[in-house]
Structure 1
Amino acid sequence: MADWVRRVLVGVAGLLGAVGVATAAMASHGEDVRNLAAISAMALAHAPVLLIVGLIGRSRPLAIAGLVLAAGCTIFVADLAMRHWVGTSLFPGAAPIGGGGMILGWLGVAVAGMFRGLLNE
């Protein structure tokens, strides 16, 4: 896995972790917290996975899956944040694109895990 991919994945993991904790705190003190709770859940669910892939992932298929997962989660979380604080979506179709990216990323992780050679390339 290329060094820049590792840095991106670890960096995105750190940002998602921070966003997840911050939005969880905000959700515990607010009234309209549906989007904040969803942001927190998605960010905190995906940050550890991206951290692990960034730190110990070795293969190109796993790197690609991690990048797709990172992009999907970032788009999804950003869209929810825009809806919560600005009142409009990030761009038309952002939530389904982000959600689809997360699904594809997880499927990529599954495929890379099922075939030994894809983990050790």
Structure 2
Amino acid sequence: MPISLIDRLFVVLGAVAGLAGVVAAAAAAHVTGTGSLGTAADFLLFHAPVLVAIAIADHVGLGRAGLLRLGGALVVLGLIGFSGDLAMRALTGTPLFAMAAPTGGTLLMIGWVAIGLSAIIPRRA
């Protein structure tokens, strides 16, 4: 069975998150005073495999597709807000946008709830 375009996109976004996490971790290790950049890197690296796993879970029918994909989208948006804000503040001293980190963190939490619910709520026949 061929993998859907949305599932391919989650794999690509997982790879991008992983790459950005490694870059941010390297920058945090070599630039002084950027502790929040290390946190941004950690969050990117922790969530990158989740995005790949979402594509796999969707492809094999493990969770309810709509909720699984919604959870993945929320994780992506949450990473942009949370890690993006921490990285921007560490590197430029300015926020990504007002309330970006708390909004991103909230989206990450809601994304995890959606991913969990996708495994509990049965798929449509």
* TM-score, with length taken from structure 2: 0.84
Q: Is the 8 A contact 2:40 2:87 kept in 1?
A: yes
**In the alignment, which residue of structure 2 is the partner of 1:80?**
86
Q: Aligned pair count? A: 118
Alignment partners' CA distance in 1, 2:23 and 2:103: 24
TM-fit CA distance, 1:19: 0.9
CA distance in 2: counterparts of 1:4 and 1:33, whole angstroms: 37
Deviations 1:46-98 (A, max 9, x none): 00000111234141111111111111112211111111111111111111110
In 2, the alpha carbon distance for the partners of 1:53 and 1:37 equals 25
Structure 1 window deviating more from structure 2 (24-33 vs 63-72): it is 24-33
SS in structure 2 opposite 1:28?
A: helix
Identity %: 31
| Structure 2: unaligned runs, 5 residues or longer | none
* Cα RMSD for the two superposed structures: 1.8
TM-score by length of 1: 0.86
> Which of 95, 99, 103 does residue 101 from structure 2 map onto?
95
